Amino acid sequence: VDTDSLTAVVHGVILGVPMPFELPNPDGCKDSGVSCPVTVDIKWELRDHDEKDVICALIPSKIG
């Protein structure tokens, strides 16, 4: 995803029904302590029946 903005969307789930919850500041990049784009690493693992890693990959990523 290549984006320069983030919008926070929150729902409360009441009796299985998602209900929108309005946030005072839905801008995920402004006054949230987050600098966009966000750089993250994704750790992807395939494990055997003993939960030991057979393969592990660290994938550099960005969240817009």
Q: Per-residue DSSP letters for 34-48?
A: --SSEEEEEEEEEE-
Q: Which amino acid would we find at residue 63?
A: I
Query: In this predicted structure, what is the pLDDT of residue 3?
Result: 64
Torsion of CA 23, 28, 29, 32, to 10 degrees: 60
**Beta partners for residue 47, in sequence order:** 53
Over the stretch 6-64, which tens digit does the pLDDT of each residue have?
777 888 888 888 888 887 787 767 776 667 776 777 888 998 988 888 998 988 877 65
Query: In this predicted structure, what is the pLDDT of residue 20?
Result: 85
Query: In this predicted structure, what is the pLDDT of residue 41?
Result: 79
Burial (Cβ within 10 Å: 0-12, 13-18, ≥19) of residue 21: exposed
Q: What is the pTM of this model?
A: 0.40
